[in-house]
Amino acid sequence: MRIDIITCLPKLLDSFFGHSILKRAQEKGIAEVVVHDLRDYTQFKHRQVDDYSYGGSAGMVLMVEPIDRCISTLKNEREYDAVIYMTPDGKTFDQQTANRFSLFKNIIILCGHYKGVDERARQALITHEISIGDYVLSGGELAAAIVSDALIRLIPGVLSDETSALTDSFQDSLLAPAVYTRPADYKGMIVPEILLSGNEKEIEKWRFENALQRTKERRPDLYDKFTRENDPDAK
């Protein structure tokens, strides 16, 4: 998968993609993340990419022209499956969307800034508008990093234990069960005995029941959804 991220703050993303799993995925050639500075695509003086909002509301708006020039340059080089704009008024990102997007070969992610981007850029160039939650960040860079991380870790070969992405919280609408490592007894806090038993079938059963219980306590909305979807009597 190749992810092209367009931003006016490219340095903000360097360190994020230069570490851990994301770095390894790029070294293995499984994923490629290319960050583009929107200012390289403007024809205005002082590398200007934003301007005042028509009608006079507060805040600056990213201009359509440099966005168009950048996206058009990329589209001339290869085909893209999606051009995503990170914005708080987009569709809320979730695991299902991550699963779907992780199958894409090439995507562009545009980071907004200031008061957003000119509506014409959204209408003419963007295929998906994505929010990471109901709060407003000062730019789309962190949101783009979060979405990229969620997609890249799903690509086969990125995680060392291939099954672990499948057992994440949310993959089957349940939160993940509790996990433990050594020691088995820490200051009198004991690891559930079944996990030490070696009985895979019983361990699987314990994990499922623990996941169910945790979801019921912490996310009753997800629990209701899970029980509805798994009710054999439901239509």
Site for ligand ADE, residues 114 to 143, rule: CB under 6 A:
131-133, 135-137, 140, 143
Classified as helix, coil or strand, 132 is: coil
If the CB atoms of residues 140 and 177 are measured against ligand ADE, the closer one turns out to be: 140
Residue 165 CB, nearest distance to ligand ADE (Å)?
A: 23
Rounded-to-integer distance, Cα 212 and Cα 210, Å: 5
CB-based contacts of 30: which residues, under 8 Å, 6+ apart?
Answer: 1, 152, 155, 157, 158
If the CB atoms of residues 117 and 158 are measured against ligand ADE, the closer one turns out to be: 117
Contact 191, 181 (CB under 8 A): no
Taking CB under 6 A as the rule, does residue 7 contact ligand ADE? no
Residue 140 CB, nearest distance to ligand ADE (Å)?
A: 4
Residue 92 CB, nearest distance to ligand ADE (Å)?
A: 9
If the CB atoms of residues 131 and 215 are measured against ligand ADE, the closer one turns out to be: 131
Contact 30, 158 (CB under 8 A): yes
Site for ligand ADE, residues 175 to 194, rule: CB under 6 A:
none
If the CB atoms of residues 137 and 155 are measured against ligand ADE, the closer one turns out to be: 137
Binding string, residues 71-110; x marks residues near ligand ADE by CB under 6 A: ---------------xxx----------------------
Residue 147 CB, nearest distance to ligand ADE (Å)?
A: 8
If the CB atoms of residues 66 and 140 are measured against ligand ADE, the closer one turns out to be: 140
Dihedral angle computed from the Cα positions of residues 36, 90, 72 and 16, in that order, rounded to the nearest 10 degrees: 20
Taking CB under 6 A as the rule, does residue 148 contact ligand ADE? no
Q: Which two tokens stand for residue 131?
A: 């929010």
Helices (H), the chain: 11-17, 20-27, 64-77, 95-101, 119-125, 141-152, 200-218, 220-229
Residue 145 CB, nearest distance to ligand ADE (Å)?
A: 11
Rounded-to-integer distance, Cα 23 and Cα 12, Å: 16
Contact 6, 71 (CB under 8 A): yes
Binding site for ligand ADE (CB under 6 A): 86-88, 112, 131-133, 135-137, 140, 143
